[in-house]
Structure 1
């Protein structure tokens, strides 16, 4: 799971670098963006038989519909499409991309699973077991979490079940500086050599959140047992502080769910850079 989560975040950041290079500076205003969403809830049964297992695809995709800067709108939508559905959809209009993605998901499910199901059915496998293993689900939601002056935070929730004990789910956050159309990274927010000090603050906040006084107590609870606790690029800005979001398995077992650690700006003041305009805007909002 950690590998999948990190891979998605790397894809997001790499893709954003492709579309939103530092030289692609937009107008200083935020573009007066307006948004709408496309919803899909589609179910397809194996062999078209409602008595057999099915796949279910749920999509709720937010995209920009209006802007005083058409280039800004189109560039953002291109990125949103790539981040939510993959690079093959980035040149399409939102409605077309969602339609094509849904069609491919259903087509792949039927093509891949119908032969296997037919074989298991002939071998008289247990019906309950077959229902569990062949019932697939995928959910993709892309939402604008915050749109404030020069800052846009886009959140992607991903949830998928392909048989087995449980599904996988994750949330990925991207903080965009609309002045330059570039993602905001930790290096933009903090002074140099911040990693060790910021890691200590994360441990301290996690101890405070769980009302314990030692790291060992946290580890006994399950924290930092599946991966090291360290600053993650999967974070989001808010008026209250910076929230670092760790998906399931990244630093704790699946049963503990995702871990959120919010550091108030005051405790990080000595580490924060004075040069990030967007950070100052959200702090003073």
Structure 2
């Protein structure tokens, strides 16, 4: 972690929403206007990390939408999905709690190490009916290594509401979706059709299952398993892409409409 000396502070930095280079494509696709904001808070307590002075920090980069209903919905989901067991009402509140926890921790640890928590939320789809975000999370609060994960958030813009997997594939057809997904997973992992999953994976009862961490891409329905979810930490995360042509008959009309608008 890069060392730095600072006192407690918080900043909000606005940046243009379409900074990815291909501005023409972004303008053609995007329907919601937004800017990216940066919030950062650091502890005033400096610690010694292997001979280098360092301090703990919390940093969040996230989109802020000009449509009030969507902005409130997204802001609320940032907190409820990232820390479902907490009662924080905003990113700022979570950041203050993170730094406060560190400041309390160093009072009890003889050799404390600096902590960090980073959140980077990106708009990955923004069409007439569909908004999708990816949230990259990276944090360290002591121990042998930090943790990281990617969460997907999906929204139905025509209803100003969240979009669930059930909105794309009816629950009655989950078994068929899972079967298709398992065939792709086994081929991707180099497994035979009847090879046990018990040796290298953490699937409950050794039965393959799809999770709810998904997003819709131009190529298919993408699922992502984060570290420790189905494999050890060293194996990293696992992506599973199910092409639309394999599940077209399973998809709802809403799902097909969203797919038709993706680029």
After TM superposition, give the deviation of residue 263 of structure 1 in Å: 0.3
Number of positions where the alignment pairs a residue of Structure 1 with one of Structure 2: 225
Note if 1:172 corresponds to 2:157: no
CA distance in 1, matches of 2:151, 2:35: 20
Q: Which residue of 1 aligns with 2:11?
A: none
Q: Which residue of 2 aligns with 1:75?
A: 69
After TM superposition, give the deviation of residue 135 of structure 1 in Å: 1.9
Secondary structure (helix, strand or coil) at the match of 2:253 reads coil
Asked if structure 2 preserves the Cα contact closer than 8 Å seen for 1:237 and 1:282, the reply is no
CA distance in 2, matches of 1:219, 1:266: 30
- The answer for unaligned runs of 5 or more in structure 1 is 1-29, 67-72, 91-96, 121-129
Q: TM-score, normalised by structure 1?
A: 0.68
Q: Which has the higher helix share?
A: 1
2:101 to 105, 108, 125: 108
Sort the Cα spacing of 1:275 and 1:156 in 2 relative to 1 into closer, same or farther, 3 A.
closer
Asked if structure 2 preserves the Cα contact closer than 8 Å seen for 1:245 and 1:259, the reply is yes
CA distance in 1, matches of 2:178, 2:256: 24
Sort the Cα spacing of 1:103 and 1:280 in 2 relative to 1 into closer, same or farther, 3 A.
closer
Asked if structure 1 preserves the Cα contact closer than 8 Å seen for 2:73 and 2:161, the reply is no
Asked if structure 2 preserves the Cα contact closer than 8 Å seen for 1:243 and 1:262, the reply is yes
CA distance in 2, matches of 1:53, 1:234: 35
After TM superposition, give the deviation of residue 277 of structure 1 in Å: 5.5
Sort the Cα spacing of 1:192 and 1:77 in 2 relative to 1 into closer, same or farther, 3 A.
closer
Q: Which residue of 2 aligns with 1:15?
A: none
Sort the Cα spacing of 1:136 and 1:161 in 2 relative to 1 into closer, same or farther, 3 A.
same
Sort the Cα spacing of 1:274 and 1:150 in 2 relative to 1 into closer, same or farther, 3 A.
closer
Q: TM-score, normalised by structure 2?
A: 0.73
CA distance in 1, matches of 2:118, 2:101: 16
CA distance in 2, matches of 1:85, 1:190: 26
After TM superposition, give the deviation of residue 166 of structure 1 in Å: 1.8
Superposed, 1:207-218 pairs within 5 Å as: 207-216=186-195
Asked if structure 1 preserves the Cα contact closer than 8 Å seen for 2:58 and 2:95, the reply is yes
Root mean square deviation, CA, Å: 2.8
Give CA-to-partner distance per residue, 1:81-136, whole Å, 9 cap, x none. 2222456435xxxxxx54x54444323321x123213xx2xxxxxxxxx25xx321
CA distance in 1, matches of 2:42, 2:61: 15
After TM superposition, give the deviation of residue 217 of structure 1 in Å: 6.7
Secondary structure (helix, strand or coil) at the match of 2:192 reads coil
Q: Which has the higher contact order (CA 8 A, sep 6+)?
A: 1
Q: Which residue of 1 aligns with 2:56?
A: 55
Sort the Cα spacing of 1:85 and 1:282 in 2 relative to 1 into closer, same or farther, 3 A.
same
Q: Which residue of 1 aligns with 2:224?
A: 245
- The answer for unaligned runs of 5 or more in structure 2 is 1-28, 81-86
Asked if structure 2 preserves the Cα contact closer than 8 Å seen for 1:207 and 1:215, the reply is no
CA distance in 2, matches of 1:271, 1:31: 28
After TM superposition, give the deviation of residue 266 of structure 1 in Å: 0.8
CA distance in 2, matches of 1:34, 1:209: 38
Superposed, 1:83-232 pairs within 5 Å as: 83-85=77-79, 88-89=88-89, 98=92, 100-110=93-103, 112-117=104-109, 120=110, 130-131=111-112, 134-216=113-195, 220=199, 222-224=200-202, 228-232=207-211
Asked if structure 2 preserves the Cα contact closer than 8 Å seen for 1:82 and 1:88, the reply is no
Sort the Cα spacing of 1:55 and 1:37 in 2 relative to 1 into closer, same or farther, 3 A.
same
